[in-house]
Amino acid sequence: MPRQPEPTAVDARAFALDLQQTLRNGGDSDSWRAVVERGLTGAYAAGDIVALCDVVQAIVSILDAQGRQREAVFEIAHAIGLANGDPNALCMLHGMRATFLVSSGDVGAGLEAAATADAFASRADLPFATAKAHTHSTVARWIALDASALDAQGLSVDLLSEARAADALFLMSYRIPLLVALGERGLAHPWLRSFRLNATAAGHEYRIADANVYDAAELAVSDPRAVSLDIGVPQWSWLAKWRLAVLRLWSALLYRRWADAADSLQMALRVRRRAGNVVLDDVDGPERLLAASAGIGSFDEALRPPPSVHLLNLAATFAAAEAVATAGSQAKALPDAITTSLEWPASRWRLQALLALRSGNEVGAKQGLEHAIDWSQTAGYPIEGALAQIQLAELLRHRYAGPERRWRELQSASSEALRAIGVDPVPPAYVVAQIAPVGGRHGIASRLTPRETEVLKHLADGLSYRDVRCSWE
């Protein structure tokens, strides 16, 4: 029979309350370290695995909230050295380490740590320890968009039932945006409902903030005006604030509210600094998109791609791709398995179509827009579907000799849908209109080099940025 945890040397609840009060009094200072040292001393003295990992997790959570993720990794490495080879402790600690490494952009090392956590979990005999290890290693793989972990039904109910409440909330907080990114918004609905109920019951302010932003993102798919200014997000919840800032930027650009967009961009920049070395992208893409949408310049220089695309910088990657589609001429990769982003609910098929059009691939552009329309109807993204429709109508109008009735019907239906929520249909149509005469004297393609045209063609065909780059080296 699996061994059960013995009473801990540290009263975890009392320790958490003491630590929480210290943090409230001390803000971002290091006053909490004295409390943590008492916890660590008691845990190590008693050889208490449960208390050891509770205290280490408290330490790294504080450092994470302060944007000090590198220090968090060092603290975990120190604890690993003191774990005396105990597989119960090591599986948990390596799992925690995996999530910090992946979110900091070191995807390879993070996935190795996740594999190490799983290996120690196979030798552990405390169910709560294996559940914690699997929770963290699973989240690390989800953040990394690891193909082996991207199945829509892969959230184990057994894992949730074995995990402690805080770990179960942690797992769900990443599963929801992943399901949305995979185009499984319907599957995400019941998880979001359970997530909010459990976070509220636990009084977990961090997860309640996540749920508030997820709810706003869910409503924004049908009505972007749902992204209000009074969504409850604590100052220290930097990831929820980042998601909210990007979501507000997307909404502001859709409505062409330039002042709100600039404010949202500044909010994203402030959060970016708060997030430390977590890779949220450098907001280069969102900043370029704001400039391109406002008509204050186009850009021909390449947007530097992030070292890796993962769940945390996915929204910024979509924004950068939209910037290229709007006013650029260079390559920007979109991950193959992903269809959209929770914080940037655009269809990758529509953006891919605009990239194809810029490279002169009109057939690919038409197919991409038609695919975007079909996907939007199936996945329940009416605004994105209307944008794809009006852009397809503009493409048919300028580049295809088919019956006028078809593009006019598309134009009428999509314009009506957009105007119903207060969105001007002219700007998204103009994006296609100003690209469409690709063969003429004024088309974008006439300003592209043969290499740039070839790069865009490969990207539109679905090749990754790395594959395209390697083909030219």
User: What are the domain boundaries of the chain?
Assistant: 12-149, 347-473
Residue corresponding to tokens 């690390």: 140
The answer as to CATH 1.25.40 being correct for domain 12-149 is yes
Strand ranges (E), 72-220: none
Cα angle 374-190-252, degrees, rounded to a multiple of 5: 60
Residues ≥6 apart with Cβ < 8 Å to 140: 95, 98, 99, 101, 102, 110, 111, 113, 114
Q: Count how many residues are written for the chain.
A: 473
Give pLDDT, residue 461: 53
Of the chain, the end-to-end C-alpha distance in Å amounts to 58
The radius of gyration of the chain from alpha carbons, rounded to an integer in Å, stands at: 24
Give pLDDT, residue 301: 46
CA distance 254 to 222: 13
Which two structure tokens, joined as six digits, stand for 364? Answer: 């690919």
CA distance 175 to 191: 8
Give pLDDT, residue 469: 44
Give pLDDT, residue 114: 96
Give pLDDT, residue 438: 42
Per-residue pLDDT in tens (0 to 9) along the chain, 473 residues: 344 444 445 555 566 556 656 555 544 556 666 666 677 776 767 777 777 777 788 778 777 877 778 888 888 888 888 777 889 989 999 999 999 999 888 889 999 999 999 999 999 988 888 988 999 999 999 999 887 777 645 555 566 666 677 788 988 999 999 999 999 999 899 999 999 999 999 888 889 999 999 999 999 998 888 787 677 787 778 889 999 999 999 999 999 888 888 888 888 888 888 787 787 775 666 777 777 776 655 544 445 556 678 898 888 888 877 877 776 554 455 677 789 999 999 999 998 898 888 778 888 899 999 999 999 999 999 999 999 999 999 999 888 767 788 889 999 999 999 999 999 999 899 888 877 654 443 444 444 445 545 544 554 454 544 454 444 34
Nearest to residue 74, comparing CAs of 45, 52, 103, 96?
96
Which two structure tokens, joined as six digits, stand for 73? Answer: 């990794």
**Burial track 358-374 (b if 16+ CB lie within 10 A, e otherwise):** bbbbbebbbebbebbbe
Give pLDDT, residue 415: 94
Nearest to residue 253, comparing CAs of 241, 268, 240?
268
Give pLDDT, residue 466: 45
CA distance 98 to 108: 10
Please tell me the pTM assigned to this model.
0.82
CB contact at 8 A, 161 and 135: no
Strand ranges (E), 325-376: none
Give pLDDT, residue 230: 72
CA distance 14 to 23: 14
